[in-house]
Amino acid sequence: MARRSEQGWQKKGAGFWWTMLVAAVLVIFGLPIATGGAWLIALGGSWYYLPAGLGLLATAYFLFRRDAMAVWVYLTTFVVTVMWALWEAGLDGWAQVPRLIAPTVVLLLILSVWPLLRSSAPRLRSGLAAGFVVALGVAGAVGVNSHGGTSLFAQEAPALEPTPEAPSAPEQPVPTPSAPTYVAPETGADWPAYGGTHRALRYSPLEQITKENVAGLEKVWEFRTGDLPQNDEPFGNQNTPVKVGDRLYLCSAMNKIFALDAATGSQFWTFDPEVSTDALGYNASCRGLVYFEDLTAEQGALCATRVVNLTHDARMIALDTETGQLCPDFGNGGMVNLMEGIGDAAPGFYAPTSPPTLVRDVLVVGSQVSDNQERSAPSGVIRGFNAVTGELEWAWDMGRPGETGLPAEGEIYTEGTPNSWTIASGDDELGLAYIPMGNSAVDYWGGDRSEAENTYSTAIVALDVETGAVAWHYQTVHYDIWDYDLGGQGSLVDFPTPDGPVPAIIMPSKQAQFYILDRATGEPLVNIEERPAPQGGVEPDRLSPTQPYVTDFPNLLKPELTEAQMWGATPLDQLWCRIQFRQAAYEGVYTPPTVDQPWIQFPGYNGGTDWGGIAVDPVHGVLIANYNNMPNYNQLVPREEVDAMGVVSINDPSYDPAAGSGSHGSISPQAESPYGIRVNAGWRVPFTGLLCKQPPYGGIAAIDLNTRQMLWDRPFGSARKNGPFGIPSMLPIDIGTPNNGGGVVTASGLFFIGAATDDLFRAIDIETGEELWQVTLPAGGQATPMTYEAGGKQIVVINAGGHDFMETPIGDYFIAYALPATGGS
Catalytic residue among 361, 483, 610, 758: 483
Determine the Cα–Cα distance for residues 540 and 531; give it in Å rounded to an integer.
17
Determine the Cα–Cα distance for residues 513 and 506; give it in Å rounded to an integer.
10
Please name which of 277, 255, 431 lies closest in space to residue 347, comparing C-alpha atoms. Answer: 277
DSSP string across 688-751: T--BSBPSP-EEEEEEETTTTEEEEEEE-SEETT--GGG----EEEE----B---EEEETTSEE
Cα torsion 631, 637, 641, 642: sign: positive
Cβ distance 745 to 751 under 8 Å?
A: yes
Q: Is 522 left (phi over 0), alpha (psi -120 to 50) or beta?
A: left
Burial tier of 155 (Cβ tally within 10 Å: 0-12, 13-18, 19+): exposed
Taking every pair of Cα atoms in the chain, the longest distance, rounded to a whole number of angstroms, is 104
Determine the Cα–Cα distance for residues 175 and 678; give it in Å rounded to an integer.
45
Cβ distance 381 to 405 under 8 Å?
A: no
Interacting residues of 718 by C-beta distance below 8 A, sequence separation 6+ = 731, 732, 733, 734, 735, 737, 756, 758, 760
**Strand 667-668 with 622-628, pairing:** unpaired
Q: What is the DSSP letter of 604?
A: B
Within its chain, how far is the Cα of 650 from the centroid? 24
Cβ distance 382 to 396 under 8 Å?
A: yes
Please name which of 23, 133, 27 lies closest in space to residue 80, comparing C-alpha atoms. Answer: 133
Determine the Cα–Cα distance for residues 136 and 130; give it in Å rounded to an integer.
10
Report the amino acid identity of residue 429.
Answer: E
Cβ distance 242 to 255 under 8 Å?
A: no
Q: What is the DSSP letter of 154?
A: G
Interacting residues of 471 by C-beta distance below 8 A, sequence separation 6+ = 170, 171, 172, 173, 174, 175, 432, 462, 463, 464, 522
Cβ distance 124 to 69 under 8 Å?
A: yes
Interacting residues of 7 by C-beta distance below 8 A, sequence separation 6+ = none
Determine the Cα–Cα distance for residues 476 and 456; give it in Å rounded to an integer.
10
Interacting residues of 714 by C-beta distance below 8 A, sequence separation 6+ = 153, 699, 700, 701, 734, 769
Neighbouring-strand partners of residue 775:
761
Cβ distance 156 to 520 under 8 Å?
A: no
Please name which of 471, 429, 503 lies closest in space to residue 180, comparing C-alpha atoms. Answer: 429
483 is catalytic: yes
Provide the 3-class DSSP secondary structure of residue 108: helix
* Residues taking part in catalysis: 483
